[in-house]
Chain A
Amino acid sequence: MIAYVLRRLAGMVPTLFIISLLIFFIIELPPGDYLTNQISQLQAQGEAASVAKLEFLRREFALDRPFLERYGVWVGIWPGQHGFDGILQGNWGWSFEFQKPVGDVVSGSLLLTVILNFATILFVYIVSFPIGIYSATRQYSWGDYGFTFLGYLGLAVPNFLLGLILLFLMNEWFGVSVGGLMAPRFMDEPMSFDKLMSILSHLVVPTIVIGTAGTAAMIRRLRANLLDELNRQYVTTARAKGLKERNLVLKYPLRVALNPFIADIGNLIPSLVSGSVIVSVVLNLPTVGPILLGALQSQDQYLAGFILLFVAVLTLIGMLISDLLLAALDPRIRLGQEAPA
């Protein structure tokens, strides 16, 4: 088991390296960079002094060097203007657009993104599991049809529309202020119980909105998986032992049907980040989604690169967690054996 964990961890290093190279390559694909665009603009206006400053910045951030060197300086495996000073050393880069270090730009929204992601995944799993089990064990019942209908509705309704409707209802019924992360009056106040409650109540709508599609898909899949397993011979064996139907379903087929869902944890994360951009804009949430979009548009490459890399790291961690959970739950994976003939 320890060897397995170590092997998985060791496998992450080259993966991360290749991902970072790809990210850097892709965000540099558009011609020019933020500074050259600025320089040509300033030159057109004849402001030589500013141009000199920007030229200095270009050298400072190694933008005048060849691609691989630029990449090396960014990651921190190639000496830049000030020696080794890149992501590996904890310097996350400079945002040209905001004129601030990338860390300062994203620090608040990163935390919120992680919290929102976590809440959404939790929501997806908590809602879809009981419904999926119910639908599978009572196939073709009214309840099954009802949940199926709701599920397709959840898949079909555009997220932003659902978001607007829910915002309106929350405001009408519970008096929660529209949009944002908290009620406006808490904006500049220090953290307090009321402020926390306000944040939590504002998290409800985005969690549901971002989670519905995933929930609906997961209910369908759990239902199908569990239906497959319910007809297996080992379920009959357990029934022949005299187990109660309820205990039986929870102990045997559900355990087996669980695997694809655990394997999915890692895959959910990137889709939640990229899928939540529109929702974040509509609901006026300061997550990294809109920031990433802006950074890509203005070629603020270090900001965009860092956010993409951050999502990649989250994904890899998610994958690692799901792999470890799978190994813990499924002895066939843990012991890594084929069945003897």
Chain B
Amino acid sequence: MAVLDVRNLVVEYRIDGVNRAVDGISFQIPEGKTVAIVGESGSGKSTIGQAVMGLLPSVATIPEGEILFTDPVDQSTTDLVGLPRDGDLMRKIRGNRIAMIFQEPMTSLSPLHTIGDQIGEAGRLHQNMDRKTARDATREMLRLVQFPNPDHALDTYPFELSGGLRQRAMIAMAMMCRPALVIADEPTTALDVTIQAEILKLLRDVQAEIGMGIMLVTHDFGVVANMADQVVVVYQGRVMEKGPSKRIFEAPQHPYLKALLHAVPTFDMTERLVPIRPIEPKLSAFGAPCEVKRGEPLIEVDNLVKRFQLKKGGFLSKPRTMTAVDQVSFTVNAGECLGIVGESGSGKTTAALAVMRAFQPSSGHIRIREGDGWRDIATLEGEDLLAYRRRIQLVFQDPFSSLNPRMSINEVIGEPLVIHNVGTPESRKQHVRDLMELVGLDPKMLRRYPHSLSGGQRQRVGIARALALRPDILVCDEPVSALDVSVQAQVLNLLSDLQRELSLTYLFVSHNLAVVDYLATRIAVMCRGRLVELGETRAVIDNAQHPYTKALLTAVPDANLHRPLDFAALSAGRASDPAAWPEPYRLLPGETPTMVERFPGHFVCAPGEVPAIKDAA
């Protein structure tokens, strides 16, 4: 029996002409099962969810198709397309029989109302509960989604909760009326991997308890492999392929799906990723390679500490500070790619930006190899600092906001040359064209503006800009996390080709272990501002020592049906709490995070073992 039967659904947006976002899609969601709608951005996958909920914006219309919802309680079938979006009938179903979980737990709850109020509201609306019954039912729901202290949680405000707990509250809100169908629109995309795994587990537990069908809208094949019974792959508003997830993963038929699966980085990948739209960078001679020999230390980070002031001390109040990076030491060797991995708030970006000298460290030193000697970058001034800036460049995370919308591509890429006064206007022109070819872009695009480029093209412009000054070191801050899977593979391949050909050194910051695994020579794992593990990529991935690294690795959903997440091994958020790590890893606040060399070149933060081995990183 299907809870939801979508037949030949068409959704059109009327902005500057008619635009079909969804073009004749059909699929069914059986009772109590999970169906994943997978696609890249712009595929129309979220629009399907909005159409079912009656939450389409007013510019969208449904000219064709049916959305048949069959309530398992009384077996009555309704065509949701025919119901007025704000009518009483639709409102009785919305939030009651069909509920929705949104992507952003930070913004999808009202900041001014307690979560008890917001969750209980659904019960008061649909089941005529009075305040007290609603409160009791809410408490019950919070217990169901495993809130640590449901009684206390009723009266907390969303901003007092972490992202994971907010998403739990969101799920509790959706489950309040025990719906027959839940639409989860990228429910874990905004969360860290360890929390993502817990939320996925929770969704499965709740499904076992309540028995609702789930429509899981996502772009992440790892999540799909772990959650879905059936998969619907959409591209540009059409179904490319649908079927049980076993068939989708093991015997994909459609070329698009095959290509998509090849473009996803997974662990233990030895072969090259195959992007859907391959590019051909021209890696011809491009400036002189770095003078430091490959494999020799290039940058030394020594006991780096960075504190930020959260709140200024004032009249009758104390200042509050936060230690973003706490006594971190590592070296970066010439020609390698050092991946810095960690969850949000781990200090990975702060550490990378400190190397760029975006700010002065609170204490500690960062030294750069200069000829035969070392130079502390904090002492660089004037001309020397400019020269250092030429040696180290940054690739940003968000290709949409990191390019000035009022500058043409030509100006964007040429700007570093102008600032550093390199060459003549004519030579710059040629140089910019070379750079475009280097990243596989057509020089004809030089006169365009960023808004007319796709995300992947923009990110390649960002890389070309970073390479304009022929740097030795490239700091990449999550360069692919804002990109779709197919484009991600393209950019990752480009970065790896560039590194090999131009003997660049990368400092690669990412939260995605699979991506780092694909690119990095060595990996540094950070947690709460501390470095917890450092070693060769294979050593860290295959022989992880630190409990936090292990937790991270077990939490990454793999796009492989034979390697499901081990939900039983999840540690309920304790993995990222240094005080809860077992001995000898336990780190109490204020304790020095000492690194111990377990194996040659493989360091682990284990203060408990210090007396045994004195040698630290």
- By a beta-carbon cutoff of 8 Å, the part of chain A in contact with chain B is 7, 10-11, 232-234, 236-245, 251-252, 255-256, 329-332, 335, 337-341
Contact = CB atoms under 8 A, between A and B. Distances in A.
A330 B110 CA distance: 11
A258 to B, nearest CB: 9
B128 interface: no
> Chain A contact residues: over half helix, strand or loop, or mixed?
helix
Interface in B109-145: 109-114, 121-122, 125-126
Contacts of A234: 107-111
A232 B100 contact: no
Interface in B493-529: none
Contacts of A330: 112
Interface centre among B55, B106, B112 (most CB of A within 10 A): B112
B108 A242 contact: no
B22 interface: no
Q: Which of A233, A255, A335 has the most CB of B within 10 A?
A: A233
A234 B99 CA distance: 14
Contact of B125 (A10, A241, A256): A241
B125 A242 contact: yes
B102 A237 contact: yes
The 7 closest A-B pairs by CB, nearest first: A242-B95, A341-B345, A241-B95, A233-B107, A233-B108, A240-B100, A242-B94
Contacts of A335: 157, 160
A240 B109 contact: no
Given A243-B91, A255-B112, A341-B344, 7 more contacts: A7-B315, A233-B104, A241-B94, A255-B113, A331-B112, A332-B111, A338-B159
A244 B91 contact: yes
Contacts of A240: 53, 55, 94-95, 99-100, 102
B310 interface: yes
A244 B160 CA distance: 28
Nearest to B170: A237
Nearest to A234: B110
B110 A256 contact: yes
Given A233-B102, A241-B94, A241-B173, A332 B108 contact: no
Q: Which of B160, B161, B344 has the most CB of A within 10 A?
A: B160
A201 to B, nearest CB: 40
B47 interface: no
Given A10-B316, A243-B121, A338 B112 contact: no
A331 B159 CA distance: 9
Contacts of B563: none
Given A236-B108, A243-B125, A244-B91, A331 B55 contact: no
Contacts of A237: 100, 102, 108-110, 170, 173
Interface string B135-169: 00000000000000000000001011110000000
A10 B315 CA distance: 10
Nearest to A238: B110
Contact of B160 (A7, A337, A341): A337
B96 interface: yes
A263 to B, nearest CB: 15
A44 B550 CA distance: 98
B112 A242 contact: no
Nearest to B320: A338
B345 A242 contact: no
A251 to B, nearest CB: 8
Nearest to B103: A233
Contacts of B114: 331
A335 B156 CA distance: 11
B55 A236 contact: yes
Contacts of B109: 234, 237
Interface in B307-363: 310-311, 315-316, 344-345
A251 B113 CA distance: 9
A252 B94 CA distance: 18
A63 B555 CA distance: 80
Contacts of A339: 106, 159
Contacts of A236: 55, 102, 108
Nearest to B53: A240
B92 interface: yes
Contacts of A331: 111-112, 114, 157, 159
B86 interface: yes
A202 B93 CA distance: 55
Contact of B91 (A10, A11, A242, A332): A242
B112 A256 contact: yes
B96 A242 contact: yes
A232 B102 CA distance: 12
16 contacts: A10-B315, A236-B55, A237-B102, A240-B55, A240-B94, A240-B95, A241-B95, A242-B92, A242-B93, A245-B86, A251-B113, A255-B110, A330-B112, A339-B159, A340-B160, A340-B162
Contact of A332 (B122, B157, B310): B157
